[in-house]
Structure 1
Amino acid sequence: MNDNIPPVEIEQLDNAPPVLPGYLGITPPPGKPLERFTRTWIDRPEELLKAVNILKQAPVVAVDAEFTQIRTHVQGDNQSPSHRLALLQLAVEHHCYIVDTLRLNDLSPLAAVLANPAIIVLLHGAGADLRVMSERGLDVAHYYDLEAASRSIFGQQESSLAAMLRRAFNVRLDKSLQRTDWTRRPLPPAMVAYAARDAEMTLALYSWLEQHYLWALKIHEHTNQVKLEPVADCRRALSVLIQLMYRSRLLRLIADLSLVQLAPDVEPLLQAPSSDERAASARTLGRLGVQESQPLLQALLQDPVYDVRKSAQTALRYLARKETRSPSPPSKLVDGVRSWTIGEANNAEDGNDWKARLRSIMGDS
């Protein structure tokens, strides 16, 4: 310690001017006025599939969730708070989809968007939204947390979506319905518009942050490395393997790992010259639960080869079911045709078992 520096007296601190609130730095000029969005309410499976076909073509998708806190009874009289996902809003350029997650039991088609590492998902305050989506089977592979990025630039008190929109666009965001009951149906038009606006504004804010504060976005970029690694490695293996036997083993591995991100890589194999590969790819898409593949699987019901038609039929039956069966090992039918059972991978397997299986496939080939 330098003895030449005089100590700070308590009186000096008491007489010091108060710390000024808010952000005192220079802010870039406000952005352009927000463009209008076309809003679409989604409460039917076929509507969800159409929306996914558009959403998965976008490089960036803004997502916001509306949910209601509920109480669940546990031991004794204690209650544990939980959340029920009521709406999911997804915005891309010029369009916003409001998904009724109470009406739709199966949200798995959205995995083609949210679990695709090539698509950046934008969230403002990611924690709660990620949790409620995960409870419905939706995991996000690649996302930016705009609230965290805003906090790194302007501080915690200036990082809310409302505060950031005032700063970026001179827009005041109405948050009066934030704590309303989102489970009520039908939702009044004002509540639908309110829900859509958060996703639309998040998309607009991203453009402003990307233009002026790209560094902040990058330090709050998140990728699910655990899931991305098998996706990348299995995609690479699928592109280099030639022998049909090993490709079939690889397709089984893709299904066991539930790598729905690889569905676009598997779908072209439904038209492969080999009937074995057509059948194997149909089984894989069925096990992955890829609802968008239904038209392609329907076409395989007219395939000249019985094994292909049978595999397509079984896959379609699985996609039509609301509940999955417990896995069981393959068996032989009386007529000698091998059957297969749809189910999740064995949870008791080691987390790195897929690596050993992939090495075995590549090594044997």
Structure 2
Amino acid sequence: MNALMNTYARFPLTLVRGQGSRVWDDAENCYLDFISGIAVDTLGHAHPKMTQALSAQAATMLHCSNLFHIPKQQQLAATLCADSGLGAAFFCNSGAEANEAAIKLARKYFYDQGSSRRTVISATRSFHGRLLSTLTATGQDKVKVGFDPLPPGFIHVPLNDLDALKSVINQQSAAILLEPLQGEGGVNIADAAYLQGVRKLCDEHGLLLMFDEVQTGIGRCGTMFAFEQAGVKPDILTLAKGLGGGVPIGAMLATDAVAASFGPGTHGSTFGGNPLSCTAALTVLEVIEEESLLANVKARGEQLMQGLKAIQARFPVIKEVRGQGLLIGAELSVEAAPLIAQAREAGLLVLSAGPNVLRLLPPLNVSEAEVDEALVTLATVMERTQ
């Protein structure tokens, strides 16, 4: 009897261990992992430096609560702020919690100014989490069914449509919340010119610009943060997934002026930023630098992109290949699920981003040979399917 609630459509696979970019099931079958825990396993599986750091921290202190100063939490905050150009950080446990904190901070910021601005504008096809507020901010109706009444104060407009965005800005608008690259919504890229235009609109109208980089942040797109590629800096930034390399942690960063609206009692998280999760995040950031993983993401991302385009030339079932770094989607003219199953049978784990987009999310330290192996497997699957 399965005592778990039926909240996930699970693959028919039981994974029991991993090493690098590979995982093994309970029958000792080996798979090349191009899911990475849905963009979480930044350093792959069982990275020796991560294993050592977590073991040492577990032997020292797992948790002490935010009633006390936590040196590694302060170190992580300083590192993330230096890397992002923002002023202060708040730590929690997930991307949904980070986005919840961002929405609360934006509203509190305008409350402190004596303003009635509360509305958050986000994009259709976006995904911001499964809390009631972040669910409502999400631009996909399918995830909202059965959870009404949803909280007010959210509007959605199409991505990359600056005119549509302009048309909904009014005196109640507080913030614009965007993913620089929509992962769950289909691997849809926000154009650099669009993001620059959004920044200008926010400055002109006194709105806050919030970037959800839960999936794109921490090197996934080839720069530490995807917003760097547009030359635009947000007022609020959210992170999670790859930040902890497999250990749950979320972060919400903001400029000093905006962050000042959070004081004792305004927000909190029991487990947020505990010694273990901060050790994991610091280790991820250290390894990214020590192993030059941003350069590897760019090189392997280009290899994967070009390889998929070569497969597309042979098999027109692939309509478009798009993405940045190691967050790549292949839009298909058919449903993705059968191809995902065929790839799994052939020893490659990939996932979808909507019904007809294949999504590939290998670890940031994936090798050239492993990318080649994945491409050969996908080509073979395409050939069999054809």
Normalised TM-score (structure 1): 0.25
More helix by share: 1
More strand by share: 2
Q: Which has the larger radius of gyration?
A: 1
* Larger RCO (alpha carbons 8 Å, 6+ apart): 2
